[in-house]
């Protein structure tokens, strides 16, 4: 009797196992097969993406890296021939420069760029630094003080010549957003609000930078920054008798001519009416020339979104990026690569001497002399203007 019970129990267990096994097998047969996605060939995907940027037309290339392909390849050639950039086993020069331009053109985070180019964040960060250092070494080649000749934009325009024949450019400051530690934010807060760095730039009339001084705190006055640029070794140099056009944020002084105060200045202030006296005519034409510097600042900030967005680098890197953007701007605006390749990269500055500061008496005398020069220009201009309109 016990043996029968034992045998029945075994048969029941076996039957249960077989039933469960049959059910499990049935489920396996009806279950949808899970397929794994094909493995991405990162090298091919990266190469295809870079080629799509450089070979899909000028406009697409400008949209992504802010310059046409021919300008990009010229820049790569300059950096390569002068041994400022070297290819590595993993990343060639073309990719290094594309990634750098993509970041500063759109203010893209390293991790986002890494995902798009199938690179690690560490790799993107490392080569960003490498390219930034290389670009900065082009400063003396690409950003140069103007010579003493009259700019063609003045020489070929009867509205400006011969009155502004000694003018070599326009000079002004602009605010660039800055991210600084909390303890420094008071000094970097500008009158327009927010923390900024105050950047001084001299611009030639062909829309290029001829001098840039970055890194001053946003609360610093324009005149103070100008004085610093004139006194530091390798700083701004103004040839004897030549001058820059500046706005009323500066004082009239040796090498800088301001418009007249309390007189209509901008074109929109004149409306349909023309200038009514010598001072208004001078201000109108002064404005027409000096607006060049505002145009360049506008172009720079639109081209490189890293300058017009919240920075995510330390402050020294923010200053370096601003200078790099100015260098690249000049390259885009017409620097001839063949000329660049034939010149030395490390030329000594024209003067390493510190220019002594003037006494208050000398500054007043200087202001009187340049005010008289401005009056002479304005009166000559007005005489000729009236003669043509009689």
Q: What is the C-alpha to C-alpha distance for residues 161 and 21, in angstroms, rounded to an integer? A: 100
Residue, of 274 and 359, whose pLDDT is higher: 274
Residues 101-105, mean pLDDT to the nearest whole number: 95
What's residue 345's pLDDT? 31
Asked which of 14-18, 136-140, 247-251, 286-290 is least confident by mean pLDDT, the reply is 14-18
pLDDT greater than 80 at residue 59: yes
Residue, of 223 and 360, whose pLDDT is higher: 223
Whether 360 and 296 share a structural domain: yes
User: Could you read off the pLDDT of 228-245 as tens digits, one per residue?
Assistant: 999 888 889 999 999 999
Confidence of residue 351 (pLDDT cuts 50, 70, 90): very low
Residues 305-333, mean pLDDT to the nearest whole number: 92
Whether 197 and 289 share a structural domain: yes
What's residue 390's pLDDT? 58
What's residue 260's pLDDT? 92
Whether 91 and 220 share a structural domain: no
Domain count, the chain: 2
Question: 């953007």: which residue's tokens?
Answer: 325
Q: What is the C-alpha to C-alpha distance for residues 216 and 225, in angstroms, rounded to an integer? A: 7
Confidence of residue 147 (pLDDT cuts 50, 70, 90): confident
What's residue 344's pLDDT? 35
What's residue 164's pLDDT? 95
Contact 327, 135 (CB under 8 A): yes
Confidence of residue 98 (pLDDT cuts 50, 70, 90): very high
Residues 6+ apart with CB under 8 A from 244: 167, 168, 169, 170, 171, 202, 238, 255, 256, 257
* Structure tokens belonging to residue 383: 């005489």
Interior CA angle at 233 toward 254 and 368, to 5°?
A: 10
Residues 6+ apart with CB under 8 A from 239: 148, 168
Asked which of 32-46, 196-210, 312-326 is least confident by mean pLDDT, the reply is 32-46
Whether 221 and 172 share a structural domain: yes
Q: What is the C-alpha to C-alpha distance for residues 104 and 327, in angstroms, rounded to an integer? A: 13
Decide which of 137, 156, 189 is a domain's last residue. 137
pLDDT greater than 90 at residue 268: no
Residues 6+ apart with CB under 8 A from 189: 195, 196, 218, 219
- With respect to residue 235, please indicate whether it lies within any of the assigned structural domains: yes
- With respect to residue 23, please indicate whether it lies within any of the assigned structural domains: no
User: Could you read off the pLDDT of 5-56 as tens digits, one per residue?
Assistant: 666 666 666 666 666 666 666 665 665 555 555 676 888 999 999 999 999 9
Whether 62 and 191 share a structural domain: no
What's residue 305's pLDDT? 92
User: Could you read off the pLDDT of 71-81 as tens digits, one per residue?
Assistant: 999 999 999 99
- With respect to residue 14, please indicate whether it lies within any of the assigned structural domains: no
Phi and psi dihedrals of 322, rounded to 5? Answer: -60, -45
What's residue 328's pLDDT? 95
The model carries a pTM of: 0.81
Whether 278 and 304 share a structural domain: yes
- With respect to residue 153, please indicate whether it lies within any of the assigned structural domains: yes
Cis preceding-peptide flag for 164 (omega within 30 of 0): no
Whether 80 and 159 share a structural domain: no
User: Could you read off the pLDDT of 279-292 as tens digits, one per residue?
Assistant: 988 988 999 899 99
Residue, of 8 and 158, whose pLDDT is higher: 158
Instruction: For residue 82, give its domain range.
Output: 42-137
* Structure tokens belonging to residue 314: 């330390």
Whether 202 and 308 share a structural domain: yes
Asked which of 243-252, 266-275, 316-325, 365-374 is least confident by mean pLDDT, the reply is 266-275
Quote the mean pLDDT of the chain: 83
Do you know the residue count of the chain?
A: 390
Phi and psi dihedrals of 168, rounded to 5? Answer: -115, 5
**Residue 372 CA: distances (Å) to CA of 115, 253, 260:** 62, 11, 12
**Residue 112 CA: distances (Å) to CA of 101, 108, 128:** 14, 7, 14
Question: 């996605």: which residue's tokens?
Answer: 37
DSSP state of 189: B
Kind and range of the H or E element at 130?
helix 121-136
Q: What is the C-alpha to C-alpha distance for residues 160 and 315, in angstroms, rounded to an integer? A: 41
Whether 265 and 184 share a structural domain: yes
Q: Where are the alpha helices (DSSP H) in the chain?
A: 2-30, 42-54, 58-65, 69-81, 93-106, 110-116, 121-136, 139-142, 152-155, 185-188, 222-231, 267-270, 278-303, 315-332, 337-341, 360-388
What's residue 204's pLDDT? 94
Q: What is the C-alpha to C-alpha distance for residues 318 and 99, in angstroms, rounded to an integer? A: 17
- With respect to residue 339, please indicate whether it lies within any of the assigned structural domains: no
């Amino acid at each position: 009797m016990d043996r029968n019970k034992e045998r029945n129990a075994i048969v029941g267990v076996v039957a249960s196992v077989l039933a469960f096994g049959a059910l499990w097998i049935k489920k396996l047969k009806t279950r949808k097969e899970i397929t794994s996605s094909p493995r991405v060939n990162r090298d091919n995907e990266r190469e295809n993406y870079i080629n799509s940027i450089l070979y899909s037309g000028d406009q697409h290339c400008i949209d992504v890296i802010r310059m046409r392909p021919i300008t990009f390849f010229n820049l790569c050639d300059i950096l390569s021939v002068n041994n400022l950039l070297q290819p590595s086993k993993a990343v060639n020069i073309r990719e290094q420069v594309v990634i750098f331009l993509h970041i500063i053109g759109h203010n893209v985070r390293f991790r986002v760029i890494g995902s798009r180019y199938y690179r690690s964040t560490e790799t993107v960060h490392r080569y960003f630094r490498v390219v930034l250092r290389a670009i900065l070494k082009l400063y003396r080649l690409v950003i140069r003080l103007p010579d003493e000749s009259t700019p063609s934009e003045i020489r070929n325009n009867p509205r400006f010549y011969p009155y502004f024949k000694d003018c070599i450019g326009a000079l002004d400051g602009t605010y660039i957003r800055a991210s600084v530690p909390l303890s420094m934010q008071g000094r970097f807060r500008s009158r327009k609000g927010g923390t900024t760095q105050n950047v001084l730039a001299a611009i030639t009339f062909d829309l290029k930078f001829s001098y840039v001084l970055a890194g001053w705190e946003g609360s610093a006055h324009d005149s103070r920054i100008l004085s610093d640029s004139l006194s530091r070794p390798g700083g701004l140099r103004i040839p004897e008798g030549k001058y820059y056009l500046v706005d009323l944020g500066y004082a009239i002084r040796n090498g800088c001519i301001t418009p007249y105060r309390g007189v209509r200045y901008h074109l929109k202030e004149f409306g349909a009416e023309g200038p009514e006296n010598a001072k208004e005519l001078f201000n109108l034409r002064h404005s027409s020339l000096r607006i060049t510097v505002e145009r360049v600042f506008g172009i720079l900030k639109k081209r490189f979104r890293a300058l017009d967005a919240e920075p995510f680098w330390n402050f020294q890197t923010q200053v370096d990026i601003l200078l790099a953007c100015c260098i690249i701007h000049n390259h885009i605006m017409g620097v001839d690569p063949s000329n660049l390749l034939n010149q030395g990269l490390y030329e000594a500055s024209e003067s390493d001497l510190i220019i002594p500061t003037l006494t208050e008496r000398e500054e007043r005398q200087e202001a009187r002399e340049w005010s008289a020069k401005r009056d002479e220009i304005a009166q000559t201009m007005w005489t000729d203007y009236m003669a043509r309109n009689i």
